[in-house]
Structure 1
Amino acid sequence: MDTLLLPHFTTKRSVPVASIEYLEAMGNYTTVHLIGNKPMIVAITLKRFSERLPGFLRIHKGTLVNPDHIVAYKTRFTVTPYVQLSKDRQLAISRRQTKRLKPQLASFPWCTAKI
């Protein structure tokens, strides 16, 4: 799947999956954070997005991340484990997801960027 058709107000907008940085839950809505664009709020739950985007990582109950945009991660010797998406954007990994995500994060080719 290269693009997603997302409802945006009264129209539908085609968004390339590669441009999605991460998705954030807001009840029955989801904020889609896009690279180079303003975030979009859509009336689709995060659970539906996780079904439609199986390659994305669930790092928290309310956060789904595109692994292609992860620059680095830190899971050890820190109070709050996190993934770093850009120079100034860090997203917390929940305690329950940390053990499950460690092998997945280490298997990516960019894993040399551990912090």
Structure 2
Amino acid sequence: METLLLPDFTYRRAVPVATIEYLEAVGNYTTVHLIGQKPMLVAVTLKRFAERLPDFLRIHKGILVNPAHIVAYRTRYVPTPFVRLSQDRRLPISRRQVSQLRPRLASFPLCTN
């Protein structure tokens, strides 16, 4: 299992990549949302995470999603396109990213509700 070392205040914490649900930009910091744990705020930019985690999907300027946690998606006939994650959370897809993401999202089921 691949792990990622995240700087957590005074020490580095090893986090399995599979437990990362998504990452959210907060200025020059990133909030790492983990399955079954509290989110972590780390002093690493989202751009650096995108370089280190090439399989993750950039669905928005400030959101990077682990494709292993995508359950469904919806890009058409809704005001805001979105992906639904395993923890029943919806994250918006930016309009500019929709056309680039459609081929990569095609393997996931469409969200009916």
Q: So what's the TM-score if we normalise by structure 1? A: 0.93
After TM superposition, where is structure 1 displaced by more than 2 Å over at least 4 residues in a row? none
- Structure 1 residue runs without a partner (length 5+): none
- Structure 2 residue runs without a partner (length 5+): none
How do 1:53-72 and structure 2 match up within 5 A? Answer: 53-72=53-72
The 1-side partners of 2:40 and 2:87 are apart by 22
The 2-side partners of 1:7 and 1:86 are apart by 26
Residue in structure 1 matched with residue 100 of structure 2 by the alignment? 100
The 1-side partners of 2:105 and 2:74 are apart by 10
The size of the alignment, in residue pairs, is 111
Q: CA RMSD in A?
A: 1.1
Q: CA deviation at 1:87?
A: 5.3
Residue in structure 2 matched with residue 114 of structure 1 by the alignment? 110
Q: CA deviation at 1:88?
A: 3.1
Aligned with 1:22: secondary structure?
strand
Higher helix share: 1
Residue in structure 2 matched with residue 77 of structure 1 by the alignment? 77
The 2-side partners of 1:42 and 1:87 are apart by 22
How do 1:1-115 and structure 2 match up within 5 A? Answer: 2-86=2-86, 88-106=88-106, 108=107, 111=108, 113-115=109-111
1:25-83 Cα deviation digits (max 9, x unpaired): 00100000000100000000000000000000000000000000000000010010000
Taking only the aligned residue pairs, the percentage that are identical comes to 70
The 2-side partners of 1:87 and 1:60 are apart by 19
Judging changes above 3 Å, is the alpha-carbon distance between structure 1 residues 87 and 48 closer, same or farther for their aligned structure 2 residues?
A: closer
